[in-house]
Amino acid sequence: MSVADNTAHIKANKAALYELESGVMHNKYVAYQQRAMIEENRSLIMKNYSAAFLGNRQMANMNTDAIFHNRETILSSMKVEGQVQENYRNSKLNEAKVDFLDHRSKLTARVATVSEKMSKINHLLIEVNETIMEGNQEIVEFNATNIATNTKLLDGKGLDPAGATPEANEKRITSNTTRMKDTTARASDNKRKLEDVLENVKRNRSEILKNADLIYDRRSEIEKNHRNMSANSHTISAHIASS
């Protein structure tokens, strides 16, 4: 290959590199945008988790305990005569206990299911951290290699413009062209993956916000139940006082 051919190929590679750089750096931008939204989604999910599990769930469970305390008080204070009526009252007390324990056991099953899923999520997060750590190691090794290269260049090693030949230049140009093709293909694949994930991230955000609305709608229902349960408690108290 002639010097003129090498010059033309170098110029073509330079133009292609500019386009490749634009694509690679755009992918980097989208990756940062995506990561920011994923972290935001995770924070919003944890907010929903706290609001639903530590807020709504505990508030609703407090209502349940109070409701069945009221039920037990109502039934225990019922006036009965004879064994048949006493059996009626006691069987109603047992029925209330069965209702409560059946409900409680079903909730415990849900807690077990949630815990199992959370455990799997934690394992996935461990895998994510390990992948990140592998990437960090790759960066460290790449940096160390290129620091060593810069040091050699500063020491005058590896630089010999006077010894350059068209054949050696052609070999380097060909290598650059091949590596650019590989990088271009990878960048194109990265772009597709990033776009797909970004769409999923946006869909997740929509679901998260819907869940947040449902959580606070349900909290309003819990608060309404609490008011009604409290009203029953006041009525029971009045009945006890007047009996």
Count of alpha carbons within 13 Å of 199, Cβ hemisphere only?
5
CA distances from 140 to 68, 133, 146, 187 (A): 62, 10, 10, 22
Exposed (0-12), middle (13-18) or buried (19+): which is 89, by Cβ within 10 Å? middle
Output the six-digit token pair for 189: 């694949």
pLDDT at 94: 97
Q: What is the DSSP letter of 164?
A: -
Q: Tokens in use for 239?
A: 């009945």
With a CB cutoff of 8 Å and minimum separation 6, the contacts of 222 are 56, 59, 60, 63
The pTM (predicted TM-score) of the whole model is 0.84
Domain that residue 13 falls in: 3-242
Token pair listed for 226:
């609490």
Which pLDDT score, from 0 to 100, does residue 177 have?
Answer: 96
Cα 44 to chain centroid, rounded: 9
- The rounded distance, in Å, linking the Cα atoms of 5 and 190 is 33
pLDDT for res 1 = 62
String of DSSP letters for 78-144: ----HHHHHHHHHHHHHHHHHHHHHHHHHHHHHHHHHHHHHHHHHHHHHHHHHHHHHHHHHHHHHHH
pLDDT confidence of residue 15: 94
Dmax (CA) for the chain in angstroms is: 118
* pLDDT values of the chain reduced to their tens digit, one per residue, 243 residues: 689 999 999 999 999 999 999 999 999 999 999 999 999 999 999 999 999 999 999 999 999 999 999 999 999 999 999 999 999 999 999 999 999 999 999 999 999 999 999 999 999 999 999 999 999 999 999 999 999 999 999 888 878 888 889 999 999 999 999 999 999 999 999 999 999 999 999 999 999 999 999 999 999 999 999 999 999 999 999 988 887
Q: What percent of the chain has pLDDT over 90?
A: 91
pLDDT value for 85:
96
Return the structure tokens found at 192.
Answer: 């597709």
- Looking at the structure of the chain, the number of domains it has is 1
Please say whether the beta carbons of 197 and 34 come within 8 A.
yes
Handedness of CA 117, 119, 123, 124 (dihedral sign): positive
In this prediction, residue 155 carries a pLDDT of: 87
